[in-house]
Amino acid sequence: MAGWNIGTPTIMIWGNYNTVKNVWGKPESRIKAYLYNEKRIPVCNFTTENAIEDALRIIENSKAYFMYGYTNTLYSLALQLKDKVETNNKRFKGVFTTAESLNDQSRFIIEDVFGPVFDEYGCGEITSIAFQCKRTHYHHVIEPNVIVEFEDIGLGKEKAILLTDLTNYAMPLIRYRIGDIGEEISINTCDCGCIWQPLGKITGRMNDILITPKGGKLFVPSSFLSLLMKDGPGIAKYQLAQIKDDQLVLRVVLSKQSKINVDYIKSFVDPYLEGLFCYSIEIVDDISTGLTGKTKMVVDERKSS
């Protein structure tokens, strides 16, 4: 769908601690990287500024045609290159975002800096589930491999995703509740010519649902802050932490040239959280991704408080 073939030079910005330590060094993994023509950059090592600078140099000097990696990591790297005074001339034929939800703000920045984005929806249990086509922002389910169904969870058009794996003969997964939330859509045809089932946005995780002190549900979609602040760019990362049943902390990492302040953020967040939770906003230098290399958007810190 994006023009990638096996062996096309590709940068892989990927890998949790376990994968990098216990898998990448094995002969079969090294052979795969050679055959696929992959340059691997481990995300779990992005704990120092030097490691990030090294990754940026590799990207800028690479002759790869495609890039594949965690959505929030690619977005963060794109912001850092965009903030630089010198112009970034590295353009890819395609950028594959995966493992984390893609919102409009992230897509715009990644495409502006690196090239056209083709989002992948997958999981470790089933691998690839759906890919975005060239013509729309919808995804197409890879129907020979998996069946996607939706389950009502009381959030309107936002529904829980159920997966049935058609290629795993060791341990089939039938109507597997993966914990993701997405939009069920119905379109008859797609301009790209693909007839596989369309899939709307993957909007978040079941863990991103907060129970309010009054017993209601508040779903925090992946586009939470980008939708509220689409007229005020400058946010690199954010995380909403529940520290008490009725208290939240919104942690925000700003891009280097951002002029956004706490009062400005509060003016956008108030209509969303006011009356439901007490909350505060903290501007922080970074948000830890842990050993997974992924940024959790909603975290429960009540047990540790």
The domain spans of the chain are 1-115, 223-300
Contact 187, 169 (CB under 8 A): no
pLDDT tens digit sequence for 199-220: 888 877 766 677 788 777 677 7
Specify the pTM: 0.72
Expressed in angstroms, the distance from the first to the final Cα of the chain is: 47
Supply angle C-alpha 65, 68, 70, rounded to 5.
Answer: 155
Architecture of domain 1-115: 3-Layer(aba) Sandwich (3.40)
Name the token pair of 259.
């002029």
H runs (alpha helix) in the chain:
17-22, 27-36, 49-61, 71-83, 104-113, 224-228, 262-273
CATH class label, 223-300: alpha beta
User: In the prediction, which pLDDT does 226 show?
Assistant: 65
Confidence of residue 129 (pLDDT cuts 50, 70, 90): very high
Beta bridge partners of 70: 98
pLDDT tens digit sequence for 230-270: 555 577 778 888 888 888 899 988 877 777 888 888 887 88
Residue closest to 68 by CA, chosen among 107, 89, 41 = 41
How far is residue 240 from each of residues 181, 273, 290, 293, measured CA to CA in Å?
18, 11, 16, 18
